[in-house]
Structure 1
């Protein structure tokens, strides 16, 4: 006896229809795209830790990136050696903002001033599809922008990179840096800036470490009856005090960063740069390479969408979006 079996057309249909799930995921992605904030990188660290170097390294790897200075002394024109501004060669073609923008050496550039000018720079960079990288030692400026500027918080998402160097090592490095700055012409720079009629070092760029410390020496140097032995001792004392004050500043900055770390911990990554102080080749492995990996994840990981296995990719997805199956 012959038995015939007729397959129902319903049996040939897929058991699971992926389209609703895919549609739901794409709708979620569309909502995320609408709510997504623009991204900003913030590089923190004590003076002399390598913030500017890292900022430039990262900017060259994630073009078009531009750097916004957040050092309250580097916003003033002049005293480039004393305030340790990056040179044109060190910039490696990366655009910098808020460097040498204040003409009046007595003007107190405030946190509000920084928030205003930094916001304009960030808006401009983002408007050109660039990545803003904020770098500098004035953590009070960064705190004012990130914690207290409601417009900034509403529009931008931050990734914080903390370049950290063990304080004893950093103090030794800062002492050597002062010697290099003196050799590079810092004394002549401060001498040209010095004004015998002014003794107030509480305003403007005159607050910069390496300016008030030389006051007594420069006054003695200008005296017709100055004693050479006394001048030498005053110069040595000024250099020594400059080193001490740099170390004190570094310690205060680390304390401030530790406090901010408790607030921004979720989005803050500590990069240990201690070894690179002695071993320059360690910089790329310990600091720059890790920083690049962190930024790669911060900038691009949310460009992925999870879709069901076997489901067709929607032609509306941007080319940069990866499909991950499970």
Structure 2
């Protein structure tokens, strides 16, 4: 298996929102405890990447992808990978780094993400894990040896959207992906002997088009039949994406209610019910703002790690603090 690391150009920490009442940074040094990690969870399409980048531009942070399909190289449209422009200068890891024919398991993720986190913490940065594959996140955090819990404190943020609203958004998103060239992208890697249970071919939007591509190769298939198969493939992609969102939501409820994870829910439903500037305003009020408050409360306590405190005492970071304090 070929595993490398993709990193966008590292951004300088620029803006930090601090709790009201002031903060005595030297006092934080008194009782260093575990390192800090933020995990952004949610069903597909809810805005996990957007929130993780919002947070990463407020703190000295780097993002670790925990989407089991986006770890693979290729199919950027079908897997809805974040673009370099959308990364906004924030370093991203485990994104498009695995051979598409390989199998990357939850165990592979746990070991690779652990090494990446140690590297990020060693540079005085905050690791932010973001993605919809809750099985990957669970394998990392509740490992058999309790290594993660003994080393890290974790803050869970859950971006939630009411399912009827999310289903409409997912349907529209699939339409946009089709317009952006998803069919041609999947066609380029089509193989009639493909195993859709392995590698990147497990991605929703790949096996659904098998019958359509087979018809293209068949001399007995007419244009009308191919048109029906294409429409069917698109509808199946939408249905299976909605089913995925439901399964992801069920897993989050299990982690929260059965395993007892303390997961902070952020309701983004009003954002998806609006458009343009109003949606952006609601995102700031309902998701990014409350999420930052939760992360502030999590980070700035007497048990914060030495490495992150060193980063927050840097000149660049303190200037960001002053800017935030002025804006409050």
In the alignment, what sits opposite 1:15? none
SS in 1 for 2:301: helix
With normalisation by structure 1, the TM-score equals 0.81
Residue 273 (1) aligns with residue 293 (2): no
Q: How many residues align?
A: 276
Q: Aligned to 1:39, which of 36, 42, 59?
A: 36
Instruction: Quote the Cα distance in structure 1 between the aligned partners of 2:209 and 2:149.
Output: 42
User: What's the Cα RMSD here?
Assistant: 2.2
Residue 180 (1) aligns with residue 176 (2): yes
Segment drifting more, 272-281 vs 257-266 = 257-266
Q: For the Cα contact (< 8 Å) 1:50–1:163, is it kept in 2?
A: yes
Q: For the Cα contact (< 8 Å) 1:171–1:247, is it kept in 2?
A: yes
Residue 107 (1) aligns with residue 102 (2): yes
In the alignment, what sits opposite 1:135? 130
Residue 252 (1) aligns with residue 251 (2): no
In the alignment, what sits opposite 2:51? 54
Q: Deviations over 1:179-238 (max 9, x none)?
A: 01101110010000101232x211111111000000000110122332000000000000
In the alignment, what sits opposite 2:292? 292
Q: Aligned to 1:151, which of 147, 150, 168?
A: 147
SS in 2 for 1:44: strand
Q: For the Cα contact (< 8 Å) 1:158–1:267, is it kept in 2?
A: no
Deviation of residue 267 (structure 1)? 3.3
Q: For the Cα contact (< 8 Å) 2:28–2:300, is it kept in 1?
A: no
Unaligned runs of 5+ in 2: 1-25, 305-312, 319-328
Larger Rg: 1
Are the structure 2 counterparts of residues 225 and 163 from structure 1 closer, same or farther at C-alpha, using a change threshold of 3 Å?
A: same
SS in 1 for 2:165: helix
In the alignment, what sits opposite 2:326? none
Instruction: Quote the Cα distance in structure 1 between the aligned partners of 2:258 and 2:285.
Output: 28
Q: Aligned to 2:88, which of 61, 67, 92?
A: 92
Are the structure 2 counterparts of residues 194 and 154 from structure 1 closer, same or farther at C-alpha, using a change threshold of 3 Å?
A: same
SS in 1 for 2:142: helix
Are the structure 2 counterparts of residues 267 and 302 from structure 1 closer, same or farther at C-alpha, using a change threshold of 3 Å?
A: farther
SS in 2 for 1:162: strand
Deviation of residue 262 (structure 1)? 2.0
Q: Aligned to 1:67, which of 60, 63, 70?
A: 63
Instruction: Quote the Cα distance in structure 2 between the aligned partners of 1:294 and 1:52.
Output: 17
